Structures are given as structure tokens and as C-alpha cells.
Structure 1
Amino acid sequence: MKPCSKIILVVLITLITCSGCANKDEKKAAHIKKGDEYFEAKEYKKAEIEYKNAVQIDNKDTVLLLKLGDTFMKTGQLKTAFALYSGVEKLDSENIEALTRLAQFYFLDRKLPETQARIDKILKKDPKNLVALFLKGQVLVRKKQIEDARIVFEKLLEIQDGHVGALHAMAAIKAGEKKFDEAEAFLIKAVESSKNKTTARAVLAQFYIQRKQLDKAEEQLRLSAAEHPENAAHQILLGNFYLKTKNFQEAETAFKKAVKIQPDTPRTMVVLAGFYDVTGQKDKALELYRKAASLDSEDSNTQMILARFLYREKKIDEAESLVADILEKRPKLSDAIIMKSEILISQKKYQNALNILITLEKEEPKAHRVQYFKGLCYIGMGEAEQAASAVSKAVDLKPNYTKARLLLSEIYFRQHSYDYAVNQATAVIKLDPKVYRAYLLRGNAYMALRKIKEAENDYKKMIEIDSDKSVGYYRLAYLKSALKQFDQAAPLLEKAWSLNNKLVDVLTLRVSNAVAQKEFDHAHTLCIQQMDVFKDNNRLRAFVHGTRAKIYLAQNDIKQAESELLKAIDLAQDYLSPYRILAEIYLAQRNIEGAKKQYLTMIEKDDKLAPPHMLLAVLLEAENKFDEAEIHYRKALEINPNYAAAANNLSFYLASRTDKFDEALALAKIAKAHYPEDPSVMDTIGFAYYKKGLYGNAVAEFQDSLEKQPKNAVVRYHLGLAYYEKGEKKKAQKELSKALELNKDFSGARDAEKLIEKIDKG
């Protein structure tokens, strides 16, 4: 090739290469320009597309990467934005904008060393960087280095006199020092310095609310609303203030104005609906929730708000249908999936709910609510240890999850791990000292630990937090009754009854205290008084008749006791306690044949009545006619599959005299679902667990039963058996000996003696 030709070829290649570079630069610039225009117009999704196209051309341009990161921030893609800012930092470790954004991220994530490292780099390069200085001050505040923080904020204000963040920070420091006038001055200056006074006025209003200067707070919020007549958010802030101060008329007016300003957006309607919800105007709330949901069928958030309201208002079928519709459109929406499981739990479909949650857990292994609801499933299924494990995981994932901590405290209490129950309740109280239920759980655990003074203090704290709730008075009365301080218990029970006269626990304690003091007429009067309260509820009236029967038994008036029990059975055929007491009376009278004849006559007249089969089975079992008894227990359950009394007794029969332990446990769980607080049911399910070899569960149930009937020799015997199988022989010997002290002739006494001898021999 001639030299001239070679020169021409090189020139052509250079021109083509330069042309390609120019085209790429032009395309990149065009994408960035469009992206900037979309960003300014707040069309962030379109801006994202343009910036991404530019990045495909040049992925090393830090300015471009920062623009894309800022766009992700606007669209809520925080993890992606963080990754981009981190990428810029790797490309340019001195890039102030990237360092600033990362410092803010780390601070919000409470990672103070990482925050401080970026701040130091920024301030080394730019000592007067306002964002870095403000963050430095905030880090020092979080470290409780208040004096050092003050110096930083003062320096910042020297650089920019009207820096709103620094003014607010200085106000907080002054308020912490009880220098409220100086704090107020800083907050007022922040309002004066703000371009958009909304946030500054809201902070000043909150300061006034905390200082009980409600007129001044109202003035600031009204000014904010007047300054922004076309912005519904300001009316909502004002409405929330009025709601908090119980000025419901003004609150409603403000929320209605918000709807008038923005009539076509779900948010304002949801806020107004929420107001009607909390003020008890449920029909108005439902109407507005429905209207808000209808504005945008694709708005799953509003649809979920409606579904949750329907669920709370016991409109379960409608809530379930709405959740199904939401999941059809968004099958992976975790809130909807969790709510579906919550509905299934309310329907006692625990395994179905658990299956859903386990599937969701694979997608979201760090979702604390998934673990919480798994715990509820396990509780419903009677799996206490797995429940504790799941709820503990929820707490690990979110330590300030008070709902989970309360549930965990309750689980530990039921497992008789009282110290752990105290720890969890105490953690809740540290997070929020006004959680009523936390004091209840801790007080109960303290009582179980015999820490009487601590329990008393917690019950008194409940009364202090909410003097209109009866539970605090009842628990304090229960404590005083246990100490035989009946004169102190009486006024507390009277107060509890005046606040809620439908609590059967209050009636029971009032009656038992009267009986303990031989005040039988007063005990009967209390029952007669309660009968009027329960006039529209046959089940509760049956409970009162059962209570009166116990009073008559304490008076040795067997005839009247029997009459009251029969009245109870007539009112509520599925109420367990009267059958048990009636059977004991018949056995004591040795009038088995007469009783059997009565029940057989009832069966002849109507074979579809379950109670006569139940009572007949009890008497047949007392005669050791177990096969015949089983037939009638099963007949009762055939008529009514949820018949707790029959399920309980048949369960114990199967567990003690057959090898059908799985069926025995299933039946015991039916009884427990209906009567979770009945001590005889606790004993039955405990015995079924014992026969299944689940000794830990058995111990927990027997201990629960003994809390309610500590002098029951048979239950103590069962507890001794369970301890023995667990390998806790000293505890076993103690319980077996206690059983024999209580009654030397109970069924199983000889076996108890033999087992004690075996333990003694080692």
C-alpha cells in the first residue's frame, strides 16, 4: 500500500471513532437533559428511565449516578438508592454529595460509627458544610454528649443564623434543661426563619401541647391552615389537635374541610372515617371507608384499611372477601397475606393460617409480624413451646414490638416461667410506661412468685393509668383476698362491680369472700342482684345458678344445690360445671339408679338432646360401666360435636383406659377451646399430653389446674407422674406426697405410694 493510502485510512478510522464517541456523548447528554426535565416536573418514573439509559452509556459518571440515586429516593426505592450512593463513594471516596447522603442513611439506621466516619471526611474538606455539622450535632445528642452538641449547633447558627434544624435542636436542649422560655424563643425564630412554615409551626404547636398551653398550640395550627388554604394536610393537623384535646366538634369540622379541599383523594376520606371510627360513629366510618376505597380500585392501601375495619367490626365474611380480591390483584402483598392468616386464626383454622405464614416467611424471613402470628397459630394448636419460639423471634427482629413482648410474657406466664414473664412485661413498661396490660401481666407474675408488694404496686399503677377500668381494682382485691384481708378487698370489689357489673370473676370473688366469712345471706343476695344484670343472657344466668349451688353446698343444703344446678343445665345445656357438681352430689347420695332412670326417660322422649346422654354417661362411669359410658359420651358428641363436657370426659376415659391417645388429645382440645379456664379441663388435657409422652406440656396444664384448685389430690398425683417421667424425681416425690396428705384414698393413691417407694430406693 502506498504511504498516501495508509494516511487516508488512519484518518478515516480516527474520524469514525470520534464520530462514535460524539454520538454516545450526545445521546448521554440528551437522556440526562430529559431526565432533569422530568425530575423538575416531579415525573420521577420517567426521569428514572432516562437516567438509566444514560448510565448504560456511562456507568462511571458520579454526577449522573447521584441523580439516579436521588430519583430512587423520590420513588421510595431506598435500598437501591443506598447502593448507588455507596457505588459513587467507591468511585470517588471524597465525593461530598455521596458522603452526605450515606451519612444520613447510616444515622437513620442508628449506625453511628459509619455516620461519624463520613461526617469527618466531609468536614475535613468543607469545615462549614451545614448538613455535616447538623448531623454531627445529632450524633452527639444520640450519644448524650449534650454540651458538645450545643457547641456544634451554636457554630452552625453562626454560619447560618436561621438554620431551622439547629434552632429546633437548641430548643430541645433548652427544654431538657427546663429553660422553657429560651426553648420557646428558638422555636419562634425557627418559624420566622422557615420558607415553608408548616413543619416549624407544627413543632412549636407540639411544644405548647407538652406545656399544656393549648390556646397557643391551636393558634399556630390555625395560622398554618390559613397560610395553606388549598392544602388538606393542614386541616388534618388541626383536626388531630382537636381530636387529642377531645374537642370533637371542631375536629370533625377540620376533617370535613380537608375532604372538601381534596374530595377525590382517598386519604382525606380515610382520615375523616378514622375520626368517626374512634368516636364510635361506626356507620358513618364504614360509609366513608367504602367511598374512599371506591375512588381507586387499584389502591390496595385504602382497600386494606377498609378490610381491617370490617374485620374489627366482626364483618368477617366481607373482610375475607375483600382480602381475597386484593390478593387476586397483588398476590404477594404481605399485609394482605398476614391479614388472611389473621382471619383464619379468628376462625380457629390454625393449621391453614400457619401454612400461609410459613410460605410468607420464606419470602420475608425478617418480617416480625409473620413470627407474631405464627405464635398465635401455635397457641391455638396447643403448642406452647413453638409459640414461645416464634414470638421470641418476632421480638428479636423488632425489640420495640410491644405487642409481641406482651404475648411472650403471657406465654411464659402460662408455662410458669414467671421470671421471664416479668422480664418481658418490664421491657414493655420501659418502652412505654403507660401500657396497662404490661402491669397486669407483671403483677400476676409477681403474685405467682409471691412478691406481694411488687404485685400490689403494679395493680395500683393500673388504677392510676386508667381509673375507669375494673380490672385493676379486681386484681388488687384478689391479692387482698388471698391475704384474708377481706375488709380491704370489699370496697375494691364494689368499685370494680360499679365499673363493669358483667364480669363473672368479680362476682365469683365477691361470693367466695362472703362464703369464707360465713356470710351466706349476703352471698345469695349478690347472686340475685347479678341475675337481674344477666337477664338477657342464659349462659351467664346459668353461671349464677351454679354459683348459688356452691353456696348451698357450703351450707350443706343439698336439695337447694341440686335445684340450682338443674336450673343451670336447663338454661345452658353446654355449660360444663353443673354436670360435674351434680354428678358429685348424686354419688354422695348414692342415688345412682334414680338419676339414671330420670335421664333415660328424657332420652326416650327426645333422643336429640345431648345433656341426658352426658349425665347418664357420668353415672355409668361412676359404676365402672365404662363401655356403656363411652357409648353415651359418643352419642352426646354425635348430637353436638362441640359438646365440651362430653369431649372432656370421653378424653379422660380414652387416655386412662385405652391406647387411643391421639383421639383423647383431640377431644381434650375441643373442651379446652370452649373452657380454657376450667381446672378439670386443664387436668384432662394435661393427662392426654402425659399419655402422649409430651411431659412438658402436661406439667404446664396440671400446674394451671392446681392454681385454681390447689387441694385437688388427683391433679397433684397427675403432676407427680409427669414430673417423674421428665426425670425430675424430687419434684415428683413432693407432689405425690402432697396428694396423699390431701386425700389418702383418692383413685391412684396406692400407685402414688408405690412410686414414692421407688423414688426413695433410687
Structure 2
Amino acid sequence: MRTVAVLCSSLERPRTLAASFTEPNNSSVSERAGASPFEVSQDRGRTMVLNYRPKPRVVLLIALALLPLACSNQEVQKQRHFKRGNEYAAEKRDEFAVLEYANAVRLDPKFGEARLKLAEAYERMNNLRAAFPEFIRAADALPDNRDAQIKATQILLLGGRFEDAKARATTLLTRNSKDVDALLLRANAFAALKDPAGAITEIEEALKVQPNESRTFVNLGAVRMGSGDAKEAEAAFRKAVSLEPSSVDAHLAFANFLWSAGRQAEAEQEVKQALSLQPRHLLANRMLGVLYMATKRSQEAEQPLKAVAEISQLPAARFQLAEYYLNVRRNEEATKLLTELAANQATFADAEAALASIDYDRGRRAEANARLDKLLARAPKDARALAMKARWLASEKKLDEALVRAKAAVAADPQSAPAQYTLGMVHDLRRDVPDAIKAYNEVLRLNPRAVAAQVELSRLNLATGDGDAALRYAEEAKQTEPASAVARMALARSLLVRGDLGRAETEIAELQRGLPSSADVHTLNGTLQFRRNNYAAARTSFERALELTPGNFEAIAGLVGLDLQARQSGTALHRIEAELTKQPDRVDLLALAAQVYDQAGQSDRAEQALRRAVAADPRFSTGYGMLAQLYMKQQRLDEARAEFERMVKRDPRAVGPRTMVGVILETQGKRDEARRSYEATVAEMTNAPVAANNLAFMYAEEGKNLDVALQLATSAKQQVPDSAEVDDTLGWVYYKKDLATLAVGPLEESLKKMPDNADILYHLGLTYARIGEKAKAREALERALKLNPRLAGAESARRTLASVSQ
């Protein structure tokens, strides 16, 4: 095709080009005999070609002669399709218009005008998935069309391609540095890339061009709002409204800000003001309906939501109305609306899935599964139906089957954030934490404002000990949706774990005002009061949480903690055992019971509780870890190692259990096996500082692989910079490499953290001796031998001590 295109563009004078080809010097035998290249037959007076035996020169000349005609016909055809598309579009028959425009761009993929019209037709049909890529292709084909570039940049921003959006806006500004639209688009790109300063600079430039432009202040308000500057954001939104009181967009943007700030009454007034200007404004009606629902005024929500369905005439609006009917338990009206939507081929799948969901929620699970299975038989790659099936299987604890369906949903539509979220949820339930985190991060890539994913990531990172990441995700969730209770709870929980009790108290106080009957909020307050040593207040909060939600684990754990603090282990045991009679296979309760039994000296019962926990949920890795620790405490090292090995078999990426296998082997004196275990761990994982430290120390003790030992010790130091053990290892490796002057610093730092550790004193004493600091060496070695006369290097310590005492 590329060759044809080149020839088409160059054959303006086909005769001249054909004449340039000379007659060959010799001819074929058939030509000399006068044979024709065609064999013909007569059919009712019509000559028909039966076989065509072309000669090379003839083929070339014919091809060259036909190319201008083909190009001309192609141009005529594409213009004909384009004209027909325009006619259908004018008649509002977009379903036919898209076919004509598609034919035009098929004939000429660089036909930018047709691509733009195709994109616009798709957009009018609300087929945004098809429209958006076409808008971008149209802009690529029409580099000088400003409007096409503006539209493509807007779409890139919506799609999360912020760098690409910034690049297009920058190109527009090179052509016209005072293009306000381009300046505002680049400002939005900077804001999305978390560069509020850059965004503000662009907006300031726009204000220099048009100082009284309402939409510029709307953008300024959005940027200020995103950076957490509520006061400046409100001022910008108010300025936007004052500059253009008749601007519906300005009123709605201000309403959104007020709503996010929890000022629902003021937000409602702004939305109503917008509706007074344009009663049939789609977004204004939708916002009012959702606002009514959020403020528990469901009866008032019906009118604006019905208006949305009537105005838009789009299936999505009718689905939203059906969802409203379901929320207010008007199931018959919801079912009727969904049944109508199911009759339409375009909305069949979504409507059937919604009807199946209604059956499932009503407890008619057989009917629900039958309906959903029928849908999947007809549309086996429907991502929504597959994700729904996965959620149902997960709720029935069929986690392996749920995982298969969730993966199928993502494979069917990798760009579906709900499908990715379902996959994360299933991985989470299977306790596959790394995979769950990966899926939730993919949700955020697809939808950076997905609060539910941000909250889950905060929780999972908190559980894995990454408090900084947990806090970051919680803060992002609150920033995305300031009025979200789950976001505020996630933030409060992260702050409590970090020990930032002041900020945690502020968040919890706001939650208590808004949700006085929330068990989760009372539990958070109980934890706060416990951390402040206000035990009576903590007990009151935990007990209130249990009244509101019987069986609340965090409340039970809080009360057990208070019982133990008050030295009432019997009360704690009675409390847990009472709960276990109601929920005998609840693994977190069993693990809590094991802790209490162990503290009470009942190690056999602790072991029984943990055995029950891992039997109830073989994926409960915490249970295996606790069993292993219990065995180590009892010097049952083979059994402890077996438990850790089971954990590694289930999750080979689990750093802690893999490291513990090496630690136990080393403790048992099986140094070769321990070394191999550590080596395998550090070879496969970059985040195993304990294994790296221990292996480095083993190499140093043996005096081999010292360069590798230094790399390992340095890596461990980077990951756990405050560890006394790692500082000791690093210093010891330097000493073994005859770099005693470098060894002093880390060894002295290690001793500051553990001043009575005989091994560190021994290492430091030898180091001082090597650099000639005899007094310091004598002091360190004398203390080391006094603390532990039988330390591993006792003989070496005595010899060195004798040498520095002379």
C-alpha cells in the first residue's frame, strides 16, 4: 500500500512516465510467433478473458496506466462517503453517519476531517470509548487545526495521559503564547502531575491575557482545592461566580467545592442557582439528585434524576434512575426500567447484570446465578458480568473460582477499573497481599480519584508495616473526597499507628460529630484514648462499639488489651472464649486468643488456637508465623522451621518467613544450610535486609567473599539505617577487609544503640587496637569480657588485650 500511495502522488503525467520505459532488446518466443498474451472465447457476442498470461513490460505499463485512475477513484469514493456522512449527521442519524465516516477513513487513514466528524458522531452517540481515540487520531492528522488539538488535549487529561496532554498544550502555546485555552489545559496537566506551582504559573499567564475570565478563576479554584488551600480555592470560586453570575459552570464548580468541604446546604443553593439559569442542564440536575441522596432526602432526588433520564435520552441516565429506585427499595419500578433496557441489544448485557444483582440481593441466588450464567453464555467476555460473578463467588468463600473469574474480567477489559478493583478484592481475601496491592494500584492508574482503592491501599500498607505509604494513600483519599467517612477513618487509623495523636484526635472528633452511631468511629476513639492512657474513656468507647456492632473485632481486641493492662487475664480469656462460641472459626479471634493464652502461660492452648486458625484458613500466614514463634520460644526449632517453610511454599515472595528459615538453621548450627538459604533469599529479593546482614556477617566471620559482604552490609544499611546489628556487621566487614579506620564509625554508632553488647565491644576493641588506639581498645575489650567471658572471640579478645596492655 505504501508503494501505491507514492505512485499516486507522483503520476501527474503518466504518459511521460510510461514513455521513459524503452522497448526490451529481445522478446519472448511467443511474441516472435505473434501469439497474444490473452486467450479469449466468445460468449453470446461478448469477449471473455479466460487466461491472462502477462508479459513483464505489459504488466508494468498497465499498472502505471491504471494507478492514476485508482487514485482518482479512491479520492472520489472517500469524498462520497464523507458527504453522505455529513448528510446523515445533519439528519441526526449518527448510527449511519459513523459507517460513512469510517468508510472514508478506511480509504484514507490520514483523512483528518473525516476522523474528526467520526469522533464527533461517536460522541453524540455517547460511545466515548470509540470517540476519544478518534479525536486524538484526528488531531494527529490535523496538526494545524487548533480546535482539534484542544479537544485531543482535553481527552488526554481525562485519560490520565498527563505528560502527553502537557506536550500538546505546549505545542499550541508555541504558536500562540496567549492562547487561554492552551494555558488552562497546561495548568490542568501540571496540577495532575502534582506540580501546583507550575499550574498556578500557567493560570497567572491566562489572567494576564484575560483578567476577568470566569473560567480561569474556576481553574484556579480547582488547583487551590487540589493542593489543600481551601481558603484560596473558595476565594477563586467566588470570584468566578461574581465575574459571570450567569455561568452555570461557575456555579456548579463552586457547588462542588462546597460539597467537598462538607457544606452541603451552601452547595445545594449553588446547584439550584445553576438550575434557575438552565432548568434542563444535565449536570446540574444530576448533582442535585446525588446531593439529595447523600443528605438522605431520597424522595426529593427522584425529580432531578428523572429529568436527567429525560433530557439525556442516554442509557446511562436510565440506569442511574434504576439504581435510585433500588436504593429506595422501589424494586418493581427498577425492574421495569431494567427490563426495558434489556430489550435493547445495546444495553442488554448491563441491564441483565443489574437484574441478576437484584435477584442476588433479594436472596434469590439460584435465579440470580441462572440469569448471570445465561448472560455469560451469550456474552462470555462481558467484563462487568465476569466481575459480578467473581464477587458472588468470593462472598460464598469460593476464592479459587472467584480468582479465575476476576482474572477473566480483567483480560476481557484491562482498562476497566471496576474489574481491576474486583481482582484486588479477591487477591485480598486470598491473603495475596502483593497481588492485591498491584491490582489496586492499577485501579488508581485507570482512575486516580478512586477513593475505595486508595483506602484499601492504605489499609494493606498499614498491615505490611509501611506506615508512610499507608498515610500517603489515606491523605490522597481524603484530598480526593474530603467528605468521605471511610477516607477520614483510614487517615485517622494511619495517624494512630504513626503516633501522631494530635492529628488523629482532630480527625476522630470530626468523625464523631458526623457519625455518632458508627461502631468504627467509636473503636478509633477507643484506640486514641488507650494510647493517651485514658483507660476508662477507652473502655467506654470500645463497649459502645460492641453495642452498635456485636462481634466487632477491633473493639474486642481493645477491651482485651484493657483487661490485660489491668492484669485481668482471666477476664480477657473469658471475653474471647465467649466470642469464639459465637464465631468458632474466626481466625483473627483465634490468633488473639493464642496471644492471651501464651501470656497466661498456657502455651498448649495457644498452640491449639493457632492450629484451629490455620485449619480454618490455610492462607492465614499470620497464624503460621505465630506458631513458628511459639515453637522457637519452646526450642522446638524443627517444627518452627517447618511452619516458616509452609509459609514460603504458599508465598515464595514472603521475605520474613524466608529469612526466618535461615535464622533457625543458623541457630541450629547448620551454617552451610543457613548460608545457602540466605544466599537464595538475597539473590531473589532486593528487600531482604536481615538476610543480607546475616549473610554479610557470615562471610566476614569466615573471611571470604568480603567484597560481596560489603555490598550486602551496605544494602542492609540503606534499608534499615537505624539498626545496631547492621552497623556492627558493616564495621566488622570493614575490619576484615583491613579498612579499620572505616570500621570505627559504624561500630561506634552501633555501640551507642546497644552499649552493653559484648560482641560489639569486642569488634570495636579489635578495631581500636588495629589503628593504635590502645587505651580505647583496652577499655572496650575489658568491658566485653566482663559482660560475657564466654563470647565467641574470647581468646582473641584476651590476646589482643594482653598486647595493648604492654
* TM-score where L is the length of structure 2: 0.56
1:296 aligns with 2:250: no
Counterpart of 1:669 (choices 614, 617, 622) is 617
Q: Which amino acid in the other structure matches residue 386 of structure 2?
A: I
| Residue of structure 2 in register with 1:47 after alignment | 97
User: What is the CA distance between 1:678 and its match in structure 2?
Assistant: 13
Q: Which amino acid in the other structure matches residue 50 of structure 1?
A: E
Question: Please, which moves more after superposition, 415-424 or 685-694?
Answer: 685-694
Q: Which amino acid in the other structure matches residue 527 of structure 2?
A: Y
Q: In the aligned structure 2, how far is the partner of 1:677 from the partner of 1:434?
A: 39
Q: In the aligned structure 2, how far is the partner of 1:697 from the partner of 1:15?
A: 69
1:466 aligns with 2:515: yes
| Residue of structure 2 in register with 1:745 after alignment | none
Q: Is the 8 A contact 2:119 2:132 kept in 1?
A: no
Q: Kindly provide the CA deviation profile for residues 681-727 of structure 1, in whole angstroms up to 9, marking residues without a partner as x.
A: 99799876424362997999999xxxxxxxxxxxxx99984996776
Specify whether residues 681 and 396 from structure 1 end up closer, same or farther in structure 2 by C-alpha distance, changes over 3 A only: farther
| Residue of structure 1 in register with 2:83 after alignment | 33
1:133 aligns with 2:180: yes
| Residue of structure 2 in register with 1:190 after alignment | 247
1:81 aligns with 2:134: yes
Q: Which amino acid in the other structure matches residue 669 of structure 1?
A: D
Counterpart of 2:648 (choices 694, 711, 716) is 694
User: What is the CA distance between 1:252 and its match in structure 2?
Assistant: 3.3
Q: In the aligned structure 2, how far is the partner of 1:237 from the partner of 1:454?
A: 32
Question: What is the percentage of aligned positions where both structures have the same residue?
Answer: 18
Specify whether residues 421 and 295 from structure 1 end up closer, same or farther in structure 2 by C-alpha distance, changes over 3 A only: same
3-state SS, counterpart of residue 351 of structure 1: helix
Q: In the aligned structure 2, how far is the partner of 1:365 from the partner of 1:257?
A: 34
Q: Is the 8 A contact 2:384 2:419 kept in 1?
A: no
Q: In the aligned structure 2, how far is the partner of 1:252 from the partner of 1:381?
A: 40
Specify whether residues 758 and 581 from structure 1 end up closer, same or farther in structure 2 by C-alpha distance, changes over 3 A only: farther
Q: In the aligned structure 2, how far is the partner of 1:549 from the partner of 1:21?
A: 84
Q: In the aligned structure 2, how far is the partner of 1:205 from the partner of 1:549?
A: 49
Q: In the aligned structure 2, how far is the partner of 1:293 from the partner of 1:357?
A: 26
User: What is the CA distance between 1:479 and its match in structure 2?
Assistant: 4.3
Specify whether residues 232 and 37 from structure 1 end up closer, same or farther in structure 2 by C-alpha distance, changes over 3 A only: same
Q: In the aligned structure 1, how far is the partner of 2:640 from the partner of 2:336?
A: 49
| Residue of structure 2 in register with 1:708 after alignment | none
Q: Which amino acid in the other structure matches residue 136 of structure 1?
A: L
Specify whether residues 457 and 701 from structure 1 end up closer, same or farther in structure 2 by C-alpha distance, changes over 3 A only: farther
User: What is the CA distance between 1:38 and its match in structure 2?
Assistant: 0.5
| Residue of structure 2 in register with 1:148 after alignment | 205
Q: Is the 8 A contact 1:574 1:645 kept in 2?
A: no
Q: Is the 8 A contact 1:73 1:81 kept in 2?
A: no
3-state SS, counterpart of residue 377 of structure 2: helix
Q: Which amino acid in the other structure matches residue 692 of structure 1?
A: R
3-state SS, counterpart of residue 296 of structure 1: coil
User: What is the CA distance between 1:180 and its match in structure 2?
Assistant: 6.9
Q: In the aligned structure 2, how far is the partner of 1:107 from the partner of 1:403?
A: 22
Counterpart of 2:385 (choices 326, 336, 355) is 336
Q: Which amino acid in the other structure matches residue 99 of structure 2?
A: I
Q: Which amino acid in the other structure matches residue 144 of structure 1?
A: I
Counterpart of 1:119 (choices 163, 172, 187) is 172
Q: Kindly provide the CA deviation profile for residues 273-312 of structure 1, in whole angstroms up to 9, marking residues without a partner as x.
A: 4334444x36457545654544536512333344445556
Q: Which amino acid in the other structure matches residue 574 of structure 2?
A: T
User: What is the CA distance between 1:35 and its match in structure 2?
Assistant: 1.5
User: What is the CA distance between 1:47 and its match in structure 2?
Assistant: 1.8
Q: In the aligned structure 2, how far is the partner of 1:758 from the partner of 1:319?
A: 72
Q: In the aligned structure 2, how far is the partner of 1:140 from the partner of 1:330?
A: 42
Q: Which amino acid in the other structure matches residue 273 of structure 2?
A: Q
1:486 aligns with 2:535: yes
Q: In the aligned structure 2, how far is the partner of 1:366 from the partner of 1:511?
A: 45
| Residue of structure 1 in register with 2:525 after alignment | 476
| Residue of structure 1 in register with 2:754 after alignment | none
Q: In the aligned structure 1, how far is the partner of 2:562 from the partner of 2:651?
A: 33
Q: In the aligned structure 2, how far is the partner of 1:119 from the partner of 1:83?
A: 15
3-state SS, counterpart of residue 324 of structure 1: helix
Counterpart of 1:350 (choices 396, 399, 422) is 399
1:250 aligns with 2:300: yes
User: What is the CA distance between 1:96 and its match in structure 2?
Assistant: 4.3
Q: Which amino acid in the other structure matches residue 245 of structure 2?
A: I
User: What is the CA distance between 1:21 and its match in structure 2?
Assistant: 8.3
Aligned pairs for 1:628-643 (under 5 A) are: none
Counterpart of 2:574 (choices 547, 553, 559) is 547
Q: Is the 8 A contact 2:641 2:661 kept in 1?
A: yes
Q: In the aligned structure 2, how far is the partner of 1:117 from the partner of 1:438?
A: 36
Q: Is the 8 A contact 1:307 1:319 kept in 2?
A: yes
Q: In the aligned structure 1, how far is the partner of 2:93 from the partner of 2:527?
A: 64
Specify whether residues 414 and 505 from structure 1 end up closer, same or farther in structure 2 by C-alpha distance, changes over 3 A only: closer
Q: In the aligned structure 2, how far is the partner of 1:454 from the partner of 1:203?
A: 29
Q: In the aligned structure 2, how far is the partner of 1:318 from the partner of 1:81?
A: 41
Q: In the aligned structure 1, how far is the partner of 2:265 from the partner of 2:176?
A: 41
Specify whether residues 463 and 312 from structure 1 end up closer, same or farther in structure 2 by C-alpha distance, changes over 3 A only: farther
Q: Which amino acid in the other structure matches residue 646 of structure 2?
A: K
Q: In the aligned structure 2, how far is the partner of 1:757 from the partner of 1:329?
A: 79
- Consecutive unaligned residues in structure 2, runs of 5 or more: 1-14, 20-61, 192-198, 225-230, 632-638, 668-673, 679-689, 696-722, 724-787, 795-806
Q: In the aligned structure 2, how far is the partner of 1:443 from the partner of 1:731?
A: 37
| Residue of structure 1 in register with 2:768 after alignment | none
Aligned pairs for 1:697-708 (under 5 A) are: none
1:428 aligns with 2:480: no
| Residue of structure 2 in register with 1:160 after alignment | none
3-state SS, counterpart of residue 188 of structure 1: coil
Q: In the aligned structure 1, how far is the partner of 2:628 from the partner of 2:361?
A: 30
Q: Which amino acid in the other structure matches residue 547 of structure 1?
A: H
Q: In the aligned structure 2, how far is the partner of 1:100 from the partner of 1:578?
A: 60
3-state SS, counterpart of residue 331 of structure 1: coil
| Residue of structure 1 in register with 2:273 after alignment | 220
Q: Is the 8 A contact 1:497 1:503 kept in 2?
A: yes
User: What is the CA distance between 1:200 and its match in structure 2?
Assistant: 7.2
Q: In the aligned structure 2, how far is the partner of 1:492 from the partner of 1:134?
A: 53
User: What is the CA distance between 1:37 and its match in structure 2?
Assistant: 0.7
Specify whether residues 180 and 347 from structure 1 end up closer, same or farther in structure 2 by C-alpha distance, changes over 3 A only: closer
Aligned residues: 582
Q: In the aligned structure 1, how far is the partner of 2:498 from the partner of 2:217?
A: 51
Q: In the aligned structure 2, how far is the partner of 1:575 from the partner of 1:147?
A: 58
| Residue of structure 2 in register with 1:661 after alignment | none
Q: In the aligned structure 2, how far is the partner of 1:700 from the partner of 1:23?
A: 66
Q: In the aligned structure 2, how far is the partner of 1:166 from the partner of 1:549?
A: 60
Q: Kindly provide the CA deviation profile for residues 417-443 of structure 1, in whole angstroms up to 9, marking residues without a partner as x.
A: 444433433443343444444554555
Q: Kindly provide the CA deviation profile for residues 42-66 of structure 1, in whole angstroms up to 9, marking residues without a partner as x.
A: 3223223323444566666554454
Q: In the aligned structure 1, how far is the partner of 2:205 from the partner of 2:543?
A: 56
* TM-score where L is the length of structure 1: 0.59
Q: Kindly provide the CA deviation profile for residues 43-91 of structure 1, in whole angstroms up to 9, marking residues without a partner as x.
A: 22322332344456666655445434544554432354145324524xx
- Consecutive unaligned residues in structure 1, runs of 5 or more: 1-5, 158-163, 192-198, 525-543, 551-563, 591-617, 623-643, 652-664, 704-716, 735-755
Q: In the aligned structure 2, how far is the partner of 1:314 from the partner of 1:391?
A: 29
| Residue of structure 2 in register with 1:752 after alignment | none
